[in-house]
Amino acid sequence: MAVFMSKGAVLAVGMGIGVAIASGATVANSQPAPKAAASPGAKAANMRHENFEKLGEAFKTVIDETKKGEPNKAVVARAAQTMNTLATALPTWFPRGSGVEARAKSEAKANIWTDAAGFSAAAAASQLQVSKLNQAAISGDMNAVRAQIRATGGSCKACHDKYRLEKKS
C-alpha cells in the first residue's frame, strides 16, 4: 500500500510537471512567433494588429487621463493626435488578401472586402468621431473630450460588431 501510494505521489507530481510544461509551452506559443518570409498579406495583417494595439492604447490613455480629477491636457492632446493619425490611415490597413488566410489569428471578417462600401462608411464614421475627439483635445476643454469619448467608443464598436470576428477562446 505504501509503495502504491508513493507511486501515486510520483505520478501526481509527474503529471503536475507535465501540465506546467505544457502550459508554459502554450504561453510561449502565444507570443508572436518570428516570421519567416511573411507574405505581403501576412505583413499587412501583422502591421494592422500592431496599429490597432496602438489605437487602443491611445484611446485608453485619453479615457484614463480624463477620469482623473486634473487631467494632464498635454497627455490627452498627444494621445488624441495619435488616434487621429491612426484613424486617418485605418482604411489603408485592409489590403485584399490580409484576412484570416494570411494570418490565422486575424479577426478581420471577409465582409470587409465583400461589403467594401459598408466597411468604408463605417471606417469614415469612426474617423469623424476621432477627429472630433482630437479637436476637443486640442481646445483643451476636458469636459468636451469626456463628452466625445462615448461617441468615439460607439463608432469603434459599430464597426467591430459588423466587421470583426469574435475570437473563440
Partner 1 sequence: MPQAPPEGVKVRLWDGPVRIVHWLLVALIGFSWWASEDHLDWHQWSGYGVVGLLLFRIYWGFAGSEAARFASFVRGPRATLAYLKTVSARTPSATAGHNPLGALSILALLGLLTVQVITGLFAVDVDAYQGGPLSHMVSFDQGRRLAELHDLSFHGLQALVVLHVAAIVFYLVWKRTNLIGPMITGFRWLPIDPGLARAPLWRLALGVALAGAAAWFISKGLRL
Name the residues that contact partner 1, by CB under 8 A. Answer: 53, 55-57, 59-60, 63-64, 67, 149-150, 152-154, 156-157, 160, 164, 169
Identify which of residues 117 and 167 has a Cβ nearer to partner 1 in the complex.
167
Give min distance, CB of 67 to partner 1, in A. 7
Q: Quick one: which H or E segment has residue 61?
A: helix 40-67
Identify which of residues 61 and 131 has a Cβ nearer to partner 1 in the complex.
61
Which residue's C-alpha cell is 476621432?
Answer: 130
Radius of gyration of the chain (CA): 23
| Closest listed residue to residue 155, CA positions, set 92, 64, 89, 87 | 87
- Are 66 and 149 contacting, i.e. CB atoms less than 8 angstroms apart? yes
Give min distance, CB of 52 to partner 1, in A. 9
Give min distance, CB of 37 to partner 1, in A. 26
What span, in angstroms and rounded, lies between the C-alpha atoms of 126 and 91?
11
Q: Could you say which DSSP state residue 36 is in?
A: S
What span, in angstroms and rounded, lies between the C-alpha atoms of 100 and 20?
30
Give min distance, CB of 156 to partner 1, in A. 4
Identify which of residues 64 and 124 has a Cβ nearer to partner 1 in the complex.
64
Identify which of residues 39 and 158 has a Cβ nearer to partner 1 in the complex.
158
